[in-house]
Amino acid sequence: MITEALKKKLKEIFGESNFLDSPEHRIAYSYDGTALLGALPDAILIPTNVEQLSRLMKLANEERFAVIPRGSGTGLSGGSIPSENSVIILMNKWDKIIQIDPDNLTAWVEPGVITGRFQSQVESMKFFYPPDPGSSQICTIGGNVAENAGGLRGLKYGVTKNYVLGFEAVMPNGDVMHIGGKNTKDVAGYNLKDVLVGSEGTLCVFTKILLKLIPIPSASKTFLAFYDSIGRAAETVSAIISARIMPAMLEFLDNPTIRAVEDFSHLGMDKNSGAVLLIEVDGPRAVVDEDASAIAQICKSAGAVTVRAATDNAEAARLKAARKSAFAALARIRPTTILEDVTVPRSEVPVMVDFINETAKKHAVQIGTFGHAGDGNLHPTGLTDERDKKEIEKVKEVFRKLFAKAVELGGTITGEHGVGLAKKAFLEELYDSPYIELLKTTKRMLDPNLILNPGKIISVEPRCEGALPRSREQIEKATRNMDNPSEAYF
Amino acid sequence: MTPRIPDDLLTQCMHCGLCLPVCPTYALTGMEKSSPRGRIRLMKSVMEGALPVSHEFAEEMNFCLDCQACETACPAGVKYGELVESARVLVDENRPLTLKKFILRYIVSKRPVLKFVAGLLRVYQISGIEKGVLVLLRKLSSNLYARALLMPRISRRSARATLPETIESQGNSRGTVAVLTGCVMDVFYSDINVDTVEVLVRNNWKVVIPRKQVCCGSLSGHYGDSELPKRLARENIKVFEETGALYYVINSAGCGAFMKGYASLLSDDPEFSQKAARFSSKVLDFSEFLFKTGYEIPQRAIGKKTVYHEACHLVHSQKVSKEPNAIVSQLAGTNICELNESTWCCGSAGIYNIVRYEDAAKLLERKMENIIASGAEIVITGNPGCLAQIDAGIKQRGLPLKVVHPATVLNRLYKSEEI
């Protein structure tokens, strides 16, 4: 518990109006975009400068409370869910684009800048920032960097870490550290940047981020290709890659997802299609034209029923926006959508997709699958109702099998959402122990008192986080009543 | 406690956060509890007994403009409008009579009282007292002065008093339509009612203005009154049914949205559920009606730069956007301009701009900036609240701009009058 004396100290650091602990505020910061997870923080702090954060970390080490950084709360692995005895720091108000440097193709931003806003800003200057998560309209750059977010353009352009040149961060001991810079080449020291990018808010809080920009492709073309079956769509994906074409986007939706998305976005997609591919190629006009006609041909040869090109940029934007709505649109079918994030090597996508469907069928659960077919990152989404506990158990069982299969195929349990709380158990179960031990050692070394977003990714020591109970007593009580107490995965 | 915010509706929200960027109140505060997702979580906590119907909860429910932009943005199909309205019923039951409740319950929804108050206001406006007051306020407080500008001119006579109950079509009748004159519309903008009727008659419709029609119930409904709107709905269903009209043409976006919702409002009413469903299916917004049935294109186009502001209750509640946009584009021809954030709330939101003036003013500021940037000289919008709000924005800034209803535009073009 945050004591009265501690509250007073926090108010001294942050000011009366930037310390919030009403039940309403605490409830509103008890969740993020992840299904079934939630816990109340003890207080919410709105920092206005780096020094406050530094002082907060020092105080947290003295008084032993947890600090949970949060942007827009769109994460899908429970990365910003509070833990026991914690305060939330709200970074979404740090939303300035500090500098766009056309000579060095870089931009300094504050962590709370909305990704979509940043993209439009740089695009208006004919630059390009490719990482494009599904939640780009609301997620923050800071969150993207913390989770090493992927998105729709990962296939050709890579993910967030490929665009982070450097940053300023507050470390768990309160030190303010600077890393990287505008240099294209820089090998001074260990590559710690890549340790911190994707550290899911457990190793540092980003306070200023330096991003790499690239020139915007001069042309692009977007298609939809509809198929009777998922199999033929998967064949198309392999055929496109084998033809040495690198689309900017190669996304797929299965039938349940098509139905849900069409109900929301009214794009005129045939709701009986077995699968659809959303494909975008970009680059110089001549290349785009050549790739586009080759792709249209490949789609048809692989058995596409129809191939439709967007007539203009506005329609292309609508198609992409509709694809981005897939996750939430699936909630039209069943209210609780447990979105997963398994990734396999590209060539294994057809195998994985088959396995997902078979396993769902065998366990009689509904799964809608969509994802980034081009980079092997799939989002099988359990369609359930959180009020039906038995069904939730069944879905969990199915996901356990999917994760194991993905790892067996040389894939991974998360391609872009991070481990957070949701995947923690699987990480420790499915990966070798030297790796897990190194993760734990790194965490202990940088954050010996476990104050920064503790209990995420790995358990360094038993803690009380995860599903709803938030105090040790509650957990103990729950443990006594539960047959299988270790299952706080979701 | 019997749950009064339906659990199914609450569970539908999977807190993905896609509602956040379109929510005007989240844009104002950046705080999660002022977002649709946050409010739904608060409601859930109240229903689960984890949070009392606290003052802060009530504030948050009333801070929401109920613009329903989040519903348009929500891929999961959460019916947020229904949620916030039922939350307000909960709040209403737990709170004493407020200014808002008083205005809605005892003035707006009671025609004789409304008429009397309107009469007093009109005396205040034409006697010169208002002028004096405005001069004084301007010197004393810019804030109070700005608030005073929100008051539109009271119409000289209500359309219901000047127009006969039945008006024959101009040429061969295409059928009968009934028109709702509305409360706010007829007190402040009775000319728009006259324009609406004249446009319909010119397009060969026989028009009935039922004398016994009552307030549609939207204002009190949106602010958490549970019984009054149902009573008003039943009354209107009876009265409109008697006209035998093919369609009920509504020129206030707010009223239209609410009347389309009579079907669900009275779905549990054994006597009225079917009638309500039939009633709602006949309700069309003025622009929707013209688009659906076709209308005479005026000889000349609007001669000034024109933009269309999409009223929340038209675009978000009724999902009517294509129709008015098409009509306005047609009427403006080459003079049509693009309005950035045309579907972003202007801050009017019923009587929100009176009871939460400061917040509404910030939203109006954003709207006015967009309007000014568009280079428009004419703003067209289909809701009395938006008309009054944007008009106040124009007056405060002394801009050479006009805000008008599509019916007025069309009628003036027909008559070759100045807009």
DSSP string for residues in A160-183: GGGGEEEEEEE-TTS-EEEEE-S-
What is the ipTM for the molecules in this complex? 0.92
Sign of CA pseudo-dihedral A323, A329, A333, A335: positive
At B208 the three-state DSSP class reads: strand
Model confidence pLDDT, tens digit, residues A361-374: 999 999 999 999 99
Sign of CA pseudo-dihedral B335, B339, B343, B345: negative
Nearest residue on chain A to B30, alpha-carbon basis: A93
Of the candidates B189, B166, B168, B169, the one whose C-alpha atom is nearest the C-alpha of residue B179 is B166
Percent of chain A with pLDDT over 90: 89
Tell me what pLDDT residue A473 has: 57
CB distance from B79 to chain A under 8 Å?
Answer: no
Bridge partners, A275 (sequence order): A227, A254
Given a cut of 50, is residue A481 above it in pLDDT?
Answer: no
- From the list B17, B50, B76, the residue facing A74 with the nearest CB is B17
Percent of chain B with pLDDT over 90: 72
Tell me what pLDDT residue B2 has: 47
Nearest residue on chain A to B23, alpha-carbon basis: A138
Contact A88, A44 (CB under 8 A): yes
Is residue A86 left, alpha or beta, with left meaning phi > 0 and alpha meaning psi from -120 to 50?
beta
Q: Which amino acid is at B302?
A: I
CB distance from B57 to chain A under 8 Å?
Answer: yes
Q: Which of A20, A25, A27 to mutate to test the interface with B (most CBs of B within 10 A)?
A: A27
Q: How many Cα atoms sit within 13 Å of B382 on the Cβ side?
A: 36
CB distance from A321 to chain B under 8 Å?
Answer: no
Asked whether the beta carbons of residue A335 and residue B12 sit closer than 8 angstroms, the reply is yes
Of the candidates B31, B78, B19, B27, the one whose C-alpha atom is nearest the C-alpha of residue B59 is B31
Tell me what pLDDT residue B140 has: 74
Given a cut of 80, is residue A419 above it in pLDDT?
Answer: yes
Asked whether the beta carbons of residue B77 and residue A30 sit closer than 8 angstroms, the reply is no
Asked whether the beta carbons of residue B33 and residue A27 sit closer than 8 angstroms, the reply is yes
Of the candidates A440, A381, A431, the one whose C-alpha atom is nearest the C-alpha of residue A255 is A381
| Contacts B26 to A, Cβ<8 Å | none
Asked whether the beta carbons of residue B54 and residue A24 sit closer than 8 angstroms, the reply is yes
Tell me what pLDDT residue B218 has: 87
Q: B10 CA to chain A: closest CA distance, Å?
A: 9
Q: How many whole angstroms from its chain centre is CA B152?
A: 15
CB distance from A465 to chain B under 8 Å?
Answer: no
User: Distance between CA B307 and CA B288 in Å, rounded?
Assistant: 18
Bridge partners, A170 (sequence order): A176, A205
Tell me what pLDDT residue A321 has: 93
Nearest residue on chain B to A139, alpha-carbon basis: B17
Contact A484, A98 (CB under 8 A): no
Phi first, then psi: give them for residue A90, nearest 5 degrees.
-90, 115
| Contacts B7 to A, Cβ<8 Å | 387
Taking one residue from A and the other from B, the number of pairs with CB-CB distance under 8 angstroms is 101
Of the candidates B338, B385, B342, B345, the one whose C-alpha atom is nearest the C-alpha of residue B363 is B345
pLDDT tier, B97 (very low <50, low <70, confident <90, very high otherwise): low
At B142 the three-state DSSP class reads: helix
| Contacts A22 to B, Cβ<8 Å | 56
Given a cut of 60, is residue B213 above it in pLDDT?
Answer: yes
Rg (CA), chain A: 23
Sheet of strand A43-45, all strands in order from the earlier edge strand to the far edge: A19-20, A43-45, A86-90, A66-70
Model confidence pLDDT, tens digit, residues B234-244: 999 999 999 99
User: Distance between CA A102 and CA B408 in Å, rounded?
Assistant: 50
Tell me what pLDDT residue A461 has: 66
3-state secondary structure A239-253: HHHHCCCCCCEEEEE
Given a cut of 80, is residue B224 above it in pLDDT?
Answer: no
Query: Residue written as tokens 């509890």?
Result: B33
User: Distance between CA A406 and CA A344 in Å, rounded?
Assistant: 6
Tell me what pLDDT residue A484 has: 43
| Six-digit token string for A87 | 């305060």
| Contacts B75 to A, Cβ<8 Å | 260-261, 264-265, 325-329, 331-332
Q: B9 CA to chain A: closest CA distance, Å?
A: 9
pLDDT tier, A469 (very low <50, low <70, confident <90, very high otherwise): very low
Tell me what pLDDT residue B116 has: 75
What average pLDDT does chain B have? 91
User: Distance between CA A281 and CA A299 in Å, rounded?
Assistant: 14
CB distance from B49 to chain A under 8 Å?
Answer: no
Exposure of A191 by Cβ count < 10 A (0-12 exposed, 13-18 middle, 19+ buried)?
exposed
CB distance from B47 to chain A under 8 Å?
Answer: no
Q: What DSSP state is assigned to residue A30?
A: S
Tell me what pLDDT residue A310 has: 94
Asked whether the beta carbons of residue A33 and residue B16 sit closer than 8 angstroms, the reply is yes
- From the list B7, B21, B76, the residue facing A138 with the nearest CB is B21
User: Distance between CA B303 and CA B317 in Å, rounded?
Assistant: 31
For range A52-75, the mean pLDDT:
97
| Contacts B45 to A, Cβ<8 Å | 23, 27
Given a cut of 80, is residue B343 above it in pLDDT?
Answer: yes
For range A69-86, the mean pLDDT:
96
Given a cut of 60, is residue A151 above it in pLDDT?
Answer: yes
Tell me what pLDDT residue B355 has: 83
Model confidence pLDDT, tens digit, residues B60-88: 999 999 999 999 999 999 999 999 989 99
For range A219-240, the mean pLDDT:
93
User: Distance between CA B230 and CA B262 in Å, rounded?
Assistant: 8
Bridge partners, A282 (sequence order): A220
Tell me what pLDDT residue A476 has: 57
Tell me what pLDDT residue B115 has: 73
Nearest residue on chain A to B78, alpha-carbon basis: A332
Model confidence pLDDT, tens digit, residues B99-147: 667 776 777 667 677 777 777 777 777 777 777 777 777 777 777 777 7
pLDDT tier, A489 (very low <50, low <70, confident <90, very high otherwise): very low
* Listed range (A56-60, A400-404, B149-153) with the worst mean pLDDT: B149-153
Q: What DSSP state is assigned to residue A217?
A: P
Contact B276, B263 (CB under 8 A): yes
Q: How many whole angstroms from its chain centre is CA A20?
A: 27
| Contacts A33 to B, Cβ<8 Å | 14-17
Contact A351, A214 (CB under 8 A): no
pLDDT tier, A387 (very low <50, low <70, confident <90, very high otherwise): very high
CA–CA distances in Å: residue A416 to residues A250, A400, A401, A453, B255: 16, 18, 19, 19, 46
| Contacts A263 to B, Cβ<8 Å | 77
Model confidence pLDDT, tens digit, residues B352-364: 888 888 999 999 9
Contact A386, A42 (CB under 8 A): no
For range A15-24, the mean pLDDT:
97
For range A321-346, the mean pLDDT:
94
Task: Give counts: helices (H), strands (E), chain A.
Answer: 17, 18
Residues 6+ apart with CB under 8 A from A488: A421, A425, A465, A466, A467
Asked whether the beta carbons of residue A73 and residue B31 sit closer than 8 angstroms, the reply is no
| Contacts A337 to B, Cβ<8 Å | 14, 76
CB distance from B77 to chain A under 8 Å?
Answer: yes
